[in-house]
């Protein structure tokens, strides 16, 4: 009897164990199913293939760094002084205007008063009549003008030539359109003495080899960010002849068009023979009037090319803020009346910036860096490698040395610059590692603070 009881208990125990094991299997299977379901969901809602590999931009990282450490910020490209009074007054006057429609939607492809003023300006500069309704598109900053140009013209597997270093949105925009970026770097021809942005050049043979039947577009930036190079006529003619030979579109980013120094001339590539019909030119009110936060830009070119941009614009942004467009139009109208006068902001701004540029070049050189003197724009590249022995490069873990340098300077020196390797393709990032980018469209007092910080650190 005792044995039977034991056997019964044993059977009961065994059965219980089997039931538990069976439950555990079922439970594990449910967990696995749930896990696989989550993985499937994650994959389904991941970035589309065309955006795979995308990462936060250098701006997101360095703005967060600036907010945390509060350095003197010479990294980002915006003025820290007041914009021209007539420009801000135009916006204030517009806000009080009796016309209530100025606070409502305006024409999708550009506020009429603004496209008319832009047409007058560039018709005069290009010696070609621009139709304000068909040859000009107003966009949400030059950024959107670039986006609409690339998305509107680049198809899957089209090749786009990008000159390095480049404004960091060029490459991801081309990839978003399904295109294939092809890169060619500007390289310095000298590394000692006084180095000019003119000393950074393209290898003509390397450039020629990039063009082929798949090439759809080349992106040109002159005056150049971050080098400050103003492309000379002979350099533009080489680009233009290749575009004509291979039937390639030129996207010309000319947002720094008024900021040119030392007698250099900004030549608009669309004015070269045979280039109007294959060029889209980008401009910016933010750069032109020192109001980067207004985010009003434009693209101009032949109507058949601009039409493609309109299709992207109307199905994404649709229309830009009416009050800002109206204020920019009023500002242009004032400048059009004094375009040939030294009082014109387009002429007075580069005079002011040239002094700031020269001041920055001096204090960077005195600190031990080797600056490249820009012919245009408001950025300056400087070779910082002579300072490496004064820095604990191992305190930062970034892959590229310019990131480690700029982060160390931000945290320990209180001076922020931008790492130029961010403006190169992955295979060419090492070309930017020895440099830092600083911006000199800043208050003189802040430039002097930067000079004092570097002087104190050096001593």
- State the pTM of this model: 0.91
pLDDT level of residue 408 (50, 70, 90 thresholds): very high
More confident residue, 319 or 23: 319
Tokens 């040395």 -> residue: 401
* Dist. CA 128–CA 281, nearest whole Å: 14
**The pLDDT of residue 55:** 79
pLDDT one-digit tens code per residue, 123-150: 999 999 999 999 999 999 999 999 999 9
pLDDT one-digit tens code per residue, 238-272: 999 999 999 999 999 999 999 999 999 999 999 99
**The pLDDT of residue 3:** 43
**The pLDDT of residue 425:** 96
**The pLDDT of residue 40:** 67
pLDDT level of residue 18 (50, 70, 90 thresholds): low
Q: Work out the percent of the chain whose per-residue pLDDT is above 70.
A: 92
In the predicted structure, residue 279 carries a pLDDT above the cut 90: yes
Q: CA 400 → CA 142, 165, 216, 325, 436, distances in Å?
A: 29, 15, 32, 41, 12
**The pLDDT of residue 13:** 53
In the predicted structure, residue 38 carries a pLDDT above the cut 80: no
pLDDT one-digit tens code per residue, 312-335: 999 999 999 999 999 999 999 999
What's the average model confidence in pLDDT over 21-46? 67
**The pLDDT of residue 14:** 53
What's the average model confidence in pLDDT over 271-297? 98
In the predicted structure, residue 12 carries a pLDDT above the cut 80: no
pLDDT level of residue 458 (50, 70, 90 thresholds): confident
pLDDT level of residue 308 (50, 70, 90 thresholds): very high
pLDDT one-digit tens code per residue, 183-242: 999 999 998 999 999 999 999 999 999 999 999 999 999 999 999 999 999 999 999 999
In the predicted structure, residue 415 carries a pLDDT above the cut 90: yes
What is the overall mean pLDDT for the chain?
Answer: 93
**The pLDDT of residue 5:** 45
**The pLDDT of residue 52:** 78
pLDDT level of residue 34 (50, 70, 90 thresholds): confident
What's the average model confidence in pLDDT over 280-294? 98
In the predicted structure, residue 2 carries a pLDDT above the cut 70: no
**The pLDDT of residue 49:** 81
What's the average model confidence in pLDDT over 108-116? 98
């Amino acid at each position: 009897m005792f044995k039977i009881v034991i056997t019964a208990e044993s059977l009961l125990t065994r059965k219980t164990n089997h039931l538990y094991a069976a439950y555990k299997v079922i439970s594990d299977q449910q967990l696995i199913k749930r896990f696989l379901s989550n993985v499937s969901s994650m994959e389904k809602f991941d970035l589309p293939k065309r955006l795979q590999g995308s990462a936060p931009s250098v701006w997101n990282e360095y703005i967060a760094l600036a907010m945390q450490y509060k350095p003197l910020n010479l990294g980002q490209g915006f003025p820290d002084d007041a914009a021209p009074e007539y420009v801000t007054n135009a916006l204030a006057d517009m806000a009080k205007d009796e016309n209530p429609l100025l606070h409502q939607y305006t024409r999708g492809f550009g506020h009429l008063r603004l496209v008319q003023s832009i047409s007058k300006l560039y018709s005069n500069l290009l010696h070609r009549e621009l139709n304000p309704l068909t040859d000009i598109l107003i966009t949400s900053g030059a950024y959107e003008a670039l986006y609409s140009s690339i998305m509107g013209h680049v198809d899957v597997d089209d090749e786009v030539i990008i000159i390095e270093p480049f404004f960091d949105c060029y490459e991801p925009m081309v990839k978003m359109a399904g295109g294939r970026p092809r890169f060619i770097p500007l390289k310095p021809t000298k590394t000692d003495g006084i180095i000019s942005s003119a000393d950074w050049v393209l290898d003509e043979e390397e450039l020629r080899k990039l063009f082929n039947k798949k090439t759809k577009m080349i992106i040109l930036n002159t005056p150049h960010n971050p080098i400050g190079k103003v492309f000379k006529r002979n350099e533009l003619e080489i680009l233009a002849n290749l575009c004509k030979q291979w039937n390639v579109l030129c996207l010309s980013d000319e947002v720094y068009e008024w900021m040119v120094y030392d007698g250099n001339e900004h030549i608009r590539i669309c004015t070269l023979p045979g280039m109007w019909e294959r060029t889209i030119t980008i401009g910016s009110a933010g750069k032109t009037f020192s109001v980067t936060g207004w985010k009003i830009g434009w693209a101009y070119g032949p109507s058949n090319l601009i039409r493609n941009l309109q299709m992207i614009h109307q199905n994404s942004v649709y229309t830009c803020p009416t009050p800002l467009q109206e204020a920019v139009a009023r500002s242009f109208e004032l400048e059009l009346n004094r375009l040939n006068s030294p009082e014109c902001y387009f002429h007075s701004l580069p005079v002011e910036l040239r002094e700031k540029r020269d001041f920055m070049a001096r204090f960077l050189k005195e600190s031990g860096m080797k600056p490249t003197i820009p012919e245009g724009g408001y950025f300056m590249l400087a070779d910082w490698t002579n300072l490496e022995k004064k820095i604990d490069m191992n305190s930062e873990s970034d892959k590229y040395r310019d990131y480690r340098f700029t982060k160390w300077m931000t945290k320990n020196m209180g001076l922020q610059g931008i790492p130029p390797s961010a403006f190169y393709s992955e295979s060419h990032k090492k070309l930017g590692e020895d440099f830092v980018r600083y911006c000199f469209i800043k208050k003189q007092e802040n430039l002097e603070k930067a000079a004092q910080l570097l002087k104190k650190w050096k001593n």
